[in-house]
Structure 1
Amino acid sequence: MDDISTLIILGATGDLTSRLLLPGVGRLLTDQPGRRLKIVGADLPTKDQDEWSATVKSAFDSAGANGDAVEHALTHTRYLPTDATSPEQLRQLMEAAEGIPALYFALPPSVTARAINALHDVGLPEHTVLALEKPFGTDQQSAADLNRKLASLVTEEQIFRVDHFLGKSSVLNILGLRFTNVLFEPLWNRDHVAKVEIVYDEQLGLEGRAGYYDSSGALIDMIQSHLIQVMALVTMEAPTSLEAADLRAVKTEALRAVRPWGSDPATASRRARYTAGTIDGRQLPSYVEEEGVQARRETETLAEVTLESQSWRWAGVPFTLRSGKALGERRREIVLTFRDVPHVPEGMQGMISPAVLRLRLGPDSMSLEFNINGPGDPYVIDRAHLMTEFGEGRLNPYGEVLNGILQRDPSLSLRGEAAEQAWRVIDEIRGAWSNGRVPLEEYAAGSGGPEHWGK
Structure 2
Amino acid sequence: MTAAVPTPLPAPQRLIVLGASGDLTRRLLLPGLGSLLAQQGERRISLTGADRRELTPKVWSSRVQDALREGGASSERSAQIAQTSDYRTLDLLDEAQLRDLMATVDGPTVLYFALPPSITRSVCQILARIGLPHQVRLALEKPFGEDEASARELNTLLEDLVEDSSRVFRVDHFLGTAPVLRLLPLRTANPLLRGVWDARQVESIDVVYDESLTLEGRAGYYDRAGALRDMVQSHLLITLALLAMEEPADLGAQAVHDAQLAALRAVRPFTGDPGTSSRRARYTAGSIGERTVPDYLAEDGVEAANDTETLAAVTVEVDTPRWRGVPFTLRSGKALARNRFETVVRFRPVGDGPADRLVIDLDTQEIALRLATGGTDWRGTGPLELRGEDQAVHLWPYGQVLQAVFDGDEALGVRGDVAEQMWRICEPILAAWQQGRTPMDTYPAGSEGPTGWEQETAVHSS
Q: TM-score normalised to the size of structure 1?
A: 0.95
| Deviation larger for 2-11 or 126-135 | 2-11
2 CA distance for matches of 1:111 and 1:261?
36
Aligned to 2:108: 100
How far is the alpha carbon of 1:69 from its aligned partner? 4.8
How many Å separate the matches in 2 of 1:173 and 1:42? 35
Asked whether the 8 Å contact 1:4–1:102 carries over to 2, the reply is no
**Structure 2 counterparts to residues 318-357 of structure 1, below 5 A:** 318-341=327-350, 343=351, 352-357=353-358
Is 1:126 the counterpart of 2:134? The answer is yes
Q: Which residue of 2 aligns with 1:162?
A: 171
CA distance in 1 between counterparts of 2:13 and 2:346 reads: 46
Change (3 A) 1:269 1:4: farther
C-alpha contact 2:33 2:71 (8 A) present in aligned 1: no
Q: Kindly state the Cα deviation for residue 76 of structure 1 after the two structures are TM-superposed.
A: 1.7
Report the CA distance shift for 1:294/1:386 in structure 2 as closer, same or farther (over 3 A).
same
Note if 1:409 corresponds to 2:418: no
CA distances 1:79-122 after superposition (whole Å, capped 9, x unpaired): 11122222221121122334111111111111111111000122
User: What amino acid is the match of 1:92?
Assistant: D
Of 222, 239, 249, the residue aligned with 1:213 is: 222
> What RMSD in Å do the two structures reach over aligned CA positions?
1.6
TM superposition shift of 1:132: 0.4
Give the equivalent residue in structure 1 for 2:321.
312
Letter in 2 for 1:296: A
- CA distance in 1 between counterparts of 2:186 and 2:292 reads 41
Match for residue 99 of structure 2? 91
Cα distance in 2 for partners of 1:251, 1:451 equals 35
How far, CA to CA, are the matches of 1:329 and 1:441 in structure 2? 19
Q: Secondary structure at the match of 1:60?
A: helix
Any conservation in 1 of the 2:10–2:43 contact (CA below 8 Å)? no
CA drift at 1:77: 0.7
Task: Give 2:143's aligned residue.
Answer: 135
Corresponding letter in the other structure for 2:323: W
Matched residue, 2:232? 223
Q: Aligned match of 2:159 in 145, 151, 168?
A: 151
Q: Which residue of 1 aligns with 2:209?
A: 200
| TM-score normalised by the chain length of structure 2 | 0.93
Q: Where in structure 1 are there 5+ consecutive unaligned residues?
A: 345-351
The answer (yes or no) to whether the contact 2:69–2:78 under 8 Å persists in 1 is: no
- Give the percent of matched residue pairs that are identical in Structure 1 and Structure 2: 46
Match of 2:335, SS?
coil
89-98 or 218-227, which moves further after superposition?
89-98
Corresponding position: 1:360 with 2:361? yes
Runs of 4+ in 1 over 4 A off after TM superposition: 1-4
Q: Which amino acid aligns with 2:127?
A: L
Q: Deviations over 1:156-195 (max 9, x none)?
A: 1111010001111011111221111111112101111011
Distance 1:89 1:51, change over 3 A: same
Shift of 1:261: 1.4
Deviation at 1:392, TM superposition (A): 6.0
- Deviation of 1:65 (Å): 1.7
Query: Does residue 248 of structure 1 match 2:275?
Result: no
Amino acid corresponding to residue 418 of structure 1 in structure 2: V
Do the aligned partners of residues 150 and 318 (structure 1) sit closer, same or farther apart at CA in structure 2, a change above 3 Å counting?
Answer: same
Give CA deviations for 1:267-315 in whole Å, capped at 9, x if unaligned.
Answer: 0111111001011222111111111111211111000000111111111
Q: Compute the displacement of 1:440 (Å).
A: 1.5
Q: Distance in 2 between matches of 1:440 and 1:126?
A: 49
Asked if the contact 1:4/1:406 (under 8 Å) is kept, the reply is: no
- Aligned residues of 1:39 and 1:76 also touching (Cα < 8 A): yes
The 8 Å contact of residues 10 and 42 in structure 2, kept in 1 or not, is answered as no
| Aligned equivalents of 1:103, 1:429: Cα separation in 2 | 34
Determine helix, strand or coil for the equivalent of 1:263: coil
C-alpha distance in 2, partners of 1:38/1:310? Answer: 47
Query: 1:383 Cα deviation (Å)?
Result: 0.8
Instruction: Note the C-alpha offset of 1:4.
Output: 6.6
Q: CA deviation at 1:2?
A: 7.2
- For 2:362 and 2:450, the matched residues in 1 are separated by 24
Q: In 2, Cα distance between the equivalents of 1:303 and 1:137?
A: 20
The AA in structure 1 aligned to 2:361 is R
Q: How many angstroms apart in 2 are the aligned matches of 1:260 and 1:84? A: 41
Q: Indicate whether 1:15 and 2:32 are aligned.
A: no
SS of 2:129 mapped into structure 1: coil
